[in-house]
Amino acid sequence: MSPILRRQTWSQMTATERDALCQRGLAEIFNSDLRESIGSLIEDVRVRGDQAVCDALQKFDGITISPSQLRVSADEIAAASIDPALENAIIDAISHLRAFNDQLLERSGDWQMEIENGLIAGEKVSPISSVGLFVPSGKASYPSVAYQLGVPAVVARVPNIVLVVPPIPGGNGEVDPAVLVICRLLGITQVFRINGPAGIAALGFGTESIPKVRKVVGPGSPAVTLAQVEMQRHGLATMMLLGPTESLVVADDTAHVGRLASDLLIEAEHGTDSSVVLVCTSRDIIDAVENELQIQIGDLPANRAEACRASLGDNGGAILVTSLTEAIEVANVYAPEHCQVAVSAQHEEMVVDGIINAGEILIGQHTPFSAGNFVIGVPASLPTSGFAHVSSGITVNAFLKHTAIAKANETALRRMAPTVIALSDHEGFPAHGNAIRRRFPE
């Protein structure tokens, strides 16, 4: 039986090998041929609007609809029905997400301070004017993404929320009813069935049927991710990057091997473009995890097993480290979308404190990635491809903007006058200085 885990030792890896480990997804996302194809599609949508969107749906998804059918009707949303157990699960997840994002909103409120006598400065926090939520539907259906994106936008009180989702593969244009139930629960009424990259372009430009928005968020394939990047040139704000999923687990010799294997398979089963890494201080644990993976992967359908082998093989694997300090170094260099810490209780705090580059950190083996993805309430749409170095997951903060506010009285302005004049004279802006000189002539 062929090994599942690609094995490497951090101290023996060259700079090139370390860099290759961290480059996951970027080459495919920014492939020149894909970029040319997406560029042509974007221009087509800009020029031909709805019809180009329908043509893209037919070409890439094999689904034929007319422009009048792009919008999911209010009747379809109202009539959407799912298994009660699934609806209860969705309601449970939404309640956790609301609680988490309500708390964030409360912590992100307006504020002000007196910087000096007579000078007040602060911020006013308000929602962005509009947003497009992209919910993927290709390799699988992802209603969890709908509420992971929708709840923060609703909590932020974004006045214009548009949700786009590709129809169910092989159907006649039907949208996953679970996504529609979520829209009904959240009060999202503008819902469109669109192919991913074309949908991103349509949201950025606006078409005859699809309203233009100022920002788009949502994970997806390399094509969807590249479409978001390319649309920034047309003034559409996006999150960087929400591409193929990835996870990293830091473990020591106290970790439960069966749970380690199970948790590695969570993100690994997403697709052959996913990346999953086990960073471990024990060669024996890595050996045992390999044996357990061989067993557990046999419980998966062929397509999921294939994805797991790719994610844990060429795309990821096991990294043997000499210490937890070195494990922290690996995690921070890799900057994973999802990170789990499975170490002894006495070292847990040290490891969590040390990891600063991660979309999320789930602590302990009772906090698997699947719980984070579906119900805990923390964000699950997180930066991939190393962008956890510089960005965060999608929460209510992604839908808020901060406007600076200041007020000075005459005393404060007189006190600041020499500073303004000195700097305006140095930078060559006489009107800046004159505005002060004319107020306070000598």
**What span, in angstroms and rounded, lies between the C-alpha atoms of 147 and 131?**
14
Residues 324 and 439 in one domain: no
Residues 310 and 189 in one domain: no
| Amino acid occupying residue 102 | D
pLDDT digits (tens, 9 = 90+) for 280-304: 999 999 999 999 999 999 999 999 9
Q: What is the mean pLDDT of residues 102-131?
A: 96
Q: Considering the domain boundaries, does residue 382 fall inside one?
A: no
Full domain range(s) for residue 147:
29-238
Helix (H, G, I), strand (E, B) or coil at 237: strand
Q: Considering the domain boundaries, does residue 389 fall inside one?
A: no
Residues 212 and 253 in one domain: no
Residues 85 and 132 in one domain: yes
Q: Which residues contact 426 (CB under 8 A, 6 or more apart)?
A: none
- The token pair at 331 is 């995690």
Strand partners, 361: 339
Among all residues, which ones are annotated catalytic? Answer: 337-338
Residues 110 and 123 in one domain: yes
* In the predicted structure, residue 261 carries a pLDDT above the cut 90: yes
Among 129, 132, 312, 288, CA closest to 207: 132
8 CB-side CA count, 13 A = 23
**What span, in angstroms and rounded, lies between the C-alpha atoms of 198 and 306?**
29
Residues 37 and 96 in one domain: yes
Residues 333 and 354 in one domain: yes
Q: What is the mean pLDDT of residues 29-57?
A: 93
Element (H, E) at 224: helix 222-231
The dihedral of CA 233, 236, 240, 246: what is its sign? negative
Q: 25-30 long-range contacts, Cβ below 8 Å, gap at least 24?
A: 25/222, 25/241, 25/243, 25/244, 25/246, 25/273, 25/275, 25/384, 25/385, 26/385, 26/386, 28/222, 28/244, 28/273, 29/222, 29/225, 29/226, 29/229, 29/241, 29/243, 29/385, 30/226
Q: Considering the domain boundaries, does residue 424 fall inside one?
A: yes
Domain stops at, among 238, 266, 290: 238
Least confident of 121-125, 182-186, 240-244, 265-269: 240-244
* Number of residues that make up the chain: 442
pLDDT value of position 138? 64
Q: What is the mean pLDDT of residues 380-387?
A: 92
pLDDT digits (tens, 9 = 90+) for 328-352: 999 999 999 999 999 999 999 999 9
Residues 213 and 326 in one domain: no
- The token pair at 293 is 């993976």
Domain stops at, among 377, 395, 425: 377
Residues 251 and 130 in one domain: no
Task: Give the max Cα distance, the chain.
Answer: 89
pTM for the model stands at 0.92
Q: Considering the domain boundaries, does residue 399 fall inside one?
A: no
Domain count, the chain: 3
Output the average pLDDT for the chain.
95
Residues 192 and 219 in one domain: yes
pLDDT digits (tens, 9 = 90+) for 268-280: 999 898 999 999 9
Residues 53 and 165 in one domain: yes
Residues 289 and 261 in one domain: yes
Domain stops at, among 199, 214, 238: 238
Q: Considering the domain boundaries, does residue 385 fall inside one?
A: no
Strand partners, 434: none
Q: Considering the domain boundaries, does residue 394 fall inside one?
A: no
pLDDT digits (tens, 9 = 90+) for 67-78: 999 999 999 999
Among 407, 409, 400, CA closest to 113: 407
Q: List the CATH number of the domain containing 92.
A: 3.40.50.1980
Q: Considering the domain boundaries, does residue 395 fall inside one?
A: no
Q: Considering the domain boundaries, does residue 383 fall inside one?
A: no
* In the predicted structure, residue 373 carries a pLDDT above the cut 90: yes
**12-34 residues labelled b (16+ CB within 10 A) or e (exposed):** eeeeeebeebbebbbebbeeeeb
